[in-house]
Amino acid sequence: MPFYFFKKTLLCFFLLSFNSLQAQMQPLINEPVDISPEFRNFANTYFLADSLQSFDANKIAGNIKWQRNRYTRRMAFDNELAAFRPDKGFVFPEAEYEVNPELPFSIEFVSPRALRLRVKTGMNMTAETDSLMLVKEPATDKSWKHSKIKGGHQYASAAGSVTILEYPWRIEVRDANGKLLTSTNHNTDNEGTYTPVVPFSFMQRSTDLSKSFAASFTLSAGEKIFGCGESFSRLDKRGQKIVQWTDDANGVQNPTMYKPIPFFMSSNGYGMFMHTSTPITCDIGASFNAVNTIMVGDDELDLFIFIGSPKEILNEYTNLTGKSPMPPLWSFGLWMSRITYSSETEVRDISAKLRQNRIPSDVIHLDVGWFETDWRTDYKFSTSRFKDAGKMIADLKNDGHRISLWQLPYFVPKNRLYPEIMSKGLFVRDAKGNSPYEDAVLDFSNPAAVQWYQNQLDTLLRMGVSAIKVDFGEAAPAYGLYHSGKTGFYEHNLYPIRYNKAVAEITKKITGDNIIWARAAWAGSQRYPVHWGGDAENSSNAMLATLRGGLSFGLSGFSFWSHDIGGFVQQTPEELYRRWTPFGFLSSHTRSHGTPPKEPWLFTKSFLDEYRLSAEMKYKLMPYIYAQAKHCSENGLPMVRALFVEYPDDPGAWMIEDEYMFGSDILVAPFFDDGVYERNVYLPKGKWINYQSGEVLNSGWNRIKGGKMAAAILVRDGAAIPHIKLAQSTKEMDWKNIEWVVYSADNKTATGLICLPDDNVLHPVSVTANKLQSDPFNGTVKWMIHSYNRNK
């Protein structure tokens, strides 16, 4: 193993222990790696970006001079602060080691709206390979024009400009109107505060001389930051410290994340993607309100910056890292589950009861109980409890129910597959070559391990299984040694995307469908839908946190997302289940799952009726959902999206974290207070029509009561929403008969989108005076058009 990666292993172990002690906890194996304390360590050496020493305007590359500093104590009247102070260094021989080194940086323009900033801290001997996070290495965009300006250089495109200043060394990003969006932070910028601020810099550790980067950028007054993955904390990340380390969050009400994504966007009109798999800590104005410090574990910075509106930024980011392909139609239906169905008799009974109770549904998920021994993943159905699994799968599929199966990539010593995994060396190793855990953790950086794993799934998929639940994946050993030649410092965060990719590719190969059901993710995982929100608690707080997580996830490049309706951990209280149900059905993918009972007929009749009504609503809306999904897939947009994505010019929309747009035309405001079935709802500009009552409402704050479904559901004035006749599964839907419902307060022209599964092409549609302006299918589809009747 390269000595460099061994040092990173030791560093990672140190950080895990250090951060745990910082939190006054015993070190835990799953403790997220927060590297920020290393940027405030008095023993380390800091190099602050100081001045531009050389620059080639044609290559857009040059050298930065870095000022050596120490972190020193400063005391005044029994109060101590810390500050950076220039340091002459104590190196020998002096002629061999630079006190203030000059090191290379470069900028590449990859589109009129996107640039790539690369900064090195020394010699890099590792060969550059294809990145798992990128679809491909981006091409160079030639539209940016250079001009020499006083004290620096400027490059401009139709979307904005980038200025490189000589002293203080600085990079400024502006929009097309010249508005400053953000700039790097130089140490001289912080002379007006006593608060210690980490400027644009890198740090060298005293423990092993390894380096990590701090990319510090300015934050404007009132600026908001969004994204960073499926973060369950407040939607606006300004003032928060976000640790980007994949973790089994064990819930949705703590700072850790199943799906950290190293990307964010700003209300100021820019976004950033940290192209690294090392630990990242984003101090987004938490330590000092005016500075966003991105601390990456890597010894070089590879940062993409995007300019534009939220939609433009998401499109640019997903052009680089990939857009979510369209999942199959059936996946948008209801997935019925619990932990767990354990026998063929039970599964057949659930299928029958779904039909008897007229609950439209498409998938029955079998969680941890389909093996002979619960949880012991050996990829074989229990022979004692499943008489003929293949026939069961075929029979249910004929009735419109597909089967999804749970599994995980960790193998306990009692698993029949454990000896084979160990003997073939398919596991992640420790420094001695053994397994670091009692379990064997499959090493997805090893092509042989991927092939072995896919062979296990191949048998199940050929049997007729439609989807594989890609559970766990957050526990890749932080100090493990991987087949790639790297340690967990680099591989831990890549583990989810390698895992997602392995399952998605074999599923696509055998079934032709783009579908998995995954919990963990990293940048690029959106190419392998679908992901769900993990193990939410059964409470109203957890319900709201789940929505915040989903909105943040959607603002991180993921189009499709789901969550366990009613929460996972304990038996769901009926009252909570009632309020969570419309939220669940008005998400791209819908699953009832968790501690039993989850089946609606095991609750009161009134709840069963309401649950059925929400299910029927989604199935009738399937043409709208499918078309919106297609639009999201093509543009990198989320189905469950923050209001400001659709309404970026509405200041109020940027403040809302407890409502969402379901596609472009439907606004959903769930009820989050126990036992309360009305709430204040913020409506963006324009008029809105209550989906349940037909009442026309104006923009701004409105007090809205729920109807037969426990949520406030509004439709944009001027929207034409395609519906389809109710069917009990998507298999039975008649796509030759589409009903357009026009939501218009003044009979003006309404617009909508349509995409038929067989055609799979998105078509815009306009309706005026209850007449279709043009028929995209030339008479092969029968259209019914009517205006929404509030008295219906």
Which residues belong to the active site? 471, 474, 535
Neighbours of 698 (CB within 10 A): 13
Q: Which residues have CB under 8 Å from 623's CB, separation 6+?
A: 722, 723, 724, 735, 738, 754, 755
Please name which of 107, 88, 83 lies closest in space to residue 98, comparing C-alpha atoms.
88
List helix spans (H) across 555-635.
574-585, 605-620, 622-635
* Contact (CB, 8 A) for 713 and 586: yes
What distances in angstroms separate CA 651 from CA 124, 157, 268, one per listed residue?
45, 27, 12
Please name which of 363, 589, 376 lies closest in space to residue 464, comparing C-alpha atoms.
363
Measured in whole angstroms, the distance separating CA 86 from the mean position of its chain's CA atoms is: 40
* Contact (CB, 8 A) for 185 and 196: no
Token pair of 556, please? Answer: 């991180």
Element (H or E) spanning 17, and its range? helix 3-22
The burial class, CB within 10 Å (0-12 / 13-18 / 19+), for 195 is: middle
Give, as one character, the DSSP assignment of residue 475: -
Q: Give 85-146 as a 3 state SS string.
A: EECCCCCCCCCCCCCCCEEEEEEEEEECCEEEEEEECCCCCCCCCCCCCCCCCCCCCCCCEE
Q: Which residues have CB under 8 Å from 308's CB, separation 6+?
A: 113, 159, 269, 270, 316
Token pair of 195, please? Answer: 């608060």
* Contact (CB, 8 A) for 302 and 323: no
Q: Which residues have CB under 8 Å from 520's CB, separation 6+?
A: 246, 258, 259, 470, 472, 473, 474, 495, 496, 499, 500
Q: How far apart are CA 36 and CA 23, in angstroms?
A: 13
Q: How far apart are CA 195 and CA 238, in angstroms?
A: 18
The burial class, CB within 10 Å (0-12 / 13-18 / 19+), for 48 is: buried
User: What string of DSSP letters covers 268-323?
Assistant: TSEEEEE---S-EEEEESSSSTTEEEEEESSSEEEEEEEES-HHHHHHHHHHHH-P
Task: Provide φ and ψ at 146, rounded to 5°.
Answer: -90, 145
Q: Which residues have CB under 8 Å from 154's CB, separation 6+?
A: 146, 147, 148, 161, 162, 163, 164
Token pair of 317, please? Answer: 């980011």
* Contact (CB, 8 A) for 231 and 243: no
Token pair of 641, please? Answer: 């999206």
Neighbours of 438 (CB within 10 A): 8
Token pair of 562, please? Answer: 């789901």
Please name which of 475, 367, 454, 418 lies closest in space to residue 30, comparing C-alpha atoms.
475
Please name which of 561, 629, 565 lies closest in space to residue 328, comparing C-alpha atoms.
629
DSSP 3-state percent helix, strand, coil across the chain (nearest 5): 25, 30, 45
Task: Provide φ and ψ at 123, rounded to 5°.
Answer: -70, 135
